[in-house]
Chains A and B, each alone.
Chain A
Amino acid sequence: MHALQFVAKRLLLMIPILIGISILTFAISNTIPGDPARLILGPKATPEGLEALREDMGLNDPLYVQYGRYMGGIAQGDLGQSTYSQRPVLNDLLRYSPATFELTMFAMVVTLVVGIPFGIISASRKDKLADQFTRIFALLGVAMPAFWLGLLLLLFFYLKLGVLPGSGRLDGGMAPPDYITGMYTVDALLTGNWPVLYAAIMHLILPGLTLAAVTIGMITRMTRSSMLSVLKSDYIRTAYAKGAPENRVLYGHALRNGVMPVITLLGMAFGHALGGSVLVEAVFSWPGLGQYAVNAINYLDFPAVMGVTLLIAVIFILVNLIVDTLYFFIDPRLKHN
């Protein structure tokens, strides 16, 4: 009951947040220098032709009129037409987002599988060798720019060792699996297409690791500090006083308490990974939203830029909402209050 109210309230709150984001993005993309009409028509365009196109695209109207028109369209499910791809932005988003979503999800799984155990090890062996090692690892992950780490990984695993593919989502010439979700690994799994599944996973490894480096660092450090404070608490002493061995105390009592603040951070990490995918997709030629966004910016394709921004904002807010709702299932104190 309480959880439902909470979700409803948060969903309603999304509306003003999204309006705010749309105003910001709209204002920024329309005030940066550059003329979309000139980019479309090219260097040989006549002044009359440019003027006609500007008029046609509504670029001569005041900004608030353009914004009103755009928001009116959104209310009807119309995100406008991409000036670059000449397709409705909504179609483009649906087409490119599964690739990005797949990559981000992969990075998040890697983050969870690596980050939380690293944090636990780090906390339970505080100031020992394992702690120092994970600390260096986490700091490197956070400090290294994604595009540079991506290039290093490419250089080593693709060019030098040749054990992992360097770009794209599948091996050259391989047909994608039947479309169900658009995420190749999921679709291949659902259709039992094993060679494609294998190739899709191999292609995910390098960009996924690049994307996860930062979030692993974040989650490791957060898990460590959270576990350290939990391990100092009285109920941990109670558990030891009962005669519980260290591992039972660590995983039976401390972990669930310690992982709570980490869950909040997980939502943030997801947003970080979504944003980071723009750079990573460029390095690994990953045909997702990031690449689409980069192209859109290069061609001053405002409707496309707006569309990508809003979509990422919506996903980010939804993921954080899911994460916050998870608390209701983990923390009994919220359930009963």
Chain B
Amino acid sequence: MLLKVKDLSLSLKKNGKYATILDHISFQVEKGETVGIVGESGCGKSMTALSLMRLLPEKARLDGEINLMDENIAKYSKRKLEKIRGNQVSMIFQDPLTSLNPLQTVGTQIEESLILHRNMTKEERRTRVLKLLKDVGLPRAEELVNEYPHQLSGGMRQRVMIAIAMACEPQLLICDEPTTALDVTIQAQILELMGEIKRRTQMGIIMITHDMGVVAEVCDRVIVMYAGKIVEQGPVRELFQNPTHPYTIGLLDSIPKLGQRKQKLGSIPGTVPAPGNMPAGCRFAERCRHTMDICRTTVPPMFDIKDGHQSACWLFDEKGGDQDGVVRSDELETALHH
């Protein structure tokens, strides 16, 4: 097991009091596996990524376990964390325009990880930087090392970010909306590159996105988050074909599909509850079409649907479903054929 996150909770101090951002998040990433985390803005997916890297504001309170290769890094000291960041775990950020230092050359910025984590001579580092640039598909690497971020296009900059992340061949790569700020054609190229890297290395990848297309393209498994909690997770194909949580259904319903003439795209009524003002029961209860009494009072646990497919919805409580995997309640039946 590459990464095992257990009961991860995060609170941030805002206006003098702590607000819960993440609430008992648990998931796993295997070696060579790509796990997508989806959800709308503010659901805590980026905060999950930053928590894994422990790149949190000073006043953040983090509980639970982050087991990276059986080492709980949630309690690591600053010094020990620095040894892991950029070395065993790397991160790619959303905006390649602002994520690179404008005053340093591309070469210097890629080289930095090697200086920090590898005992290499200057020559060895240079060779490695050139190879990294070629690996991420950038042309004329020899000139590129001496150029500054502003001289590159958005797609090239994101490739540089990937090169930086790959410098020390990490076991885990966290991508926070790596294609959101890019043109659609460039998006496809970057995703292709990520897929290629995934095939070549045995790296585990966490892909944070709000784009279901990206998930379908590159992920093996997907985690759906809502208001700081995981509401559903499972293998991509299974989850897309057989979504169970009303939120996931709503999310998938809101994507336009080619070839389907539909008058109106689905939308989910209402808004996400604010951190610090979470309801007692299920956080989606207020917006859900199938709300039952128990939803408002008790937080739903994860119910097993099928191998590895889990859903945090009371509709799948044993009492309401049958045993052989295709757990359906009458309520959901109507929801799915709506």
Contacts and interface: CB of A to CB of B under 8 A. Distances in A.
Contacts of B102: 235, 257, 331-333
Interface string A241-262: 1111110100001001100000
A237 B99 contact: yes
Given A239-B101, A243-B86, A332 B55 contact: no
Interface in A220-253: 233-235, 237-246, 248, 253
Contacts of A234: 93, 95, 98-99
A330 interface: yes
A256 B103 contact: yes
A336 interface: yes
A277 B83 CA distance: 52
Contacts of B84: 243
Interface in A303-337: 330-333, 336
Nearest to A252: B112
B87 interface: yes
A239 B82 CA distance: 11
Interface string B86-98: 1100110101001
B101 A257 contact: yes
A238 B101 contact: yes
A97 to B, nearest CB: 36
A238 B164 contact: yes
Given A253-B101, A256-B103, A332-B103, A242 B150 contact: no
B85 interface: yes
Contact of B82 (A233, A243, A332): A243
B201 interface: no
B164 A242 contact: yes
B148 interface: yes
Contacts of A244: 82, 86, 112, 116
B172 interface: no
Interface in B129-173: 148, 150-151, 161, 164
Interface in B57-116: 78-79, 81-87, 90-91, 93, 95, 98-104, 112-113, 116
A235 B97 CA distance: 9
B4 interface: no
Contacts of B90: 241
B101 A243 contact: no
A326 B294 CA distance: 67
Given A233-B98, A242-B112, A336-B148, A331 B103 contact: yes
Contacts of B93: 234, 237-238, 241
Contacts of A243: 81-87, 113, 116-117
Contacts of A235: 98-102
Contacts of A331: 102-103
Nearest to A126: B58
B103 to A, nearest CB: 5
A242 B53 CA distance: 10
Contacts of A256: 103
Contacts of A237: 55, 93, 99
A238 B103 CA distance: 14
Contact of A240 (B55, B79, B148): B55
A159 B87 CA distance: 61
Contacts, number: 74
Q: Point out which of B82, B98, B103 has the most chain A C-beta atoms below 10 A from its C-beta.
A: B103
Contact of B151 (A238, A239, A330, A336): A336
A242 B113 contact: yes
A246 B79 CA distance: 10
A332 B98 contact: no
A248 B101 CA distance: 13
Nearest to B101: A235
B130 to A, nearest CB: 19
B5 to A, nearest CB: 18
A204 B36 CA distance: 65
A241 B55 contact: yes
B148 A242 contact: no
Nearest to A246: B78
B92 to A, nearest CB: 9
B196 to A, nearest CB: 22
Contacts of B99: 234-235, 237-238
A256 B103 CA distance: 8
Contacts of A257: 101-103
Contact of B53 (A241, A246, A248): A241
Contacts of B79: 245
A244 B108 CA distance: 13
B80 to A, nearest CB: 11
Nearest to B104: A253
A248 to B, nearest CB: 8
A235 B101 CA distance: 5
Contacts of B116: 242-244, 248
A257 B101 CA distance: 9
A257 B104 CA distance: 10
A241 B113 CA distance: 9
Contacts of A253: 101, 104
Contact of B148 (A239, A248, A330, A333): A333
Contact of A242 (B78, B85, B95): B85
B55 to A, nearest CB: 6
Interface in A102-142: none
A256 B84 CA distance: 26
Contacts of A336: 148, 150-151
8 contacts: A235-B100, A235-B101, A237-B93, A237-B99, A238-B161, A242-B116, A243-B85, A253-B101
**7 closest A-B pairs by CB:** A242-B86, A243-B85, A243-B86, A234-B98, A235-B101, A332-B148, A234-B99
Given A331-B102, A331-B103, 10 more contacts: A234-B95, A238-B164, A241-B90, A242-B112, A243-B87, A243-B116, A245-B78, A248-B116, A330-B103, A332-B150
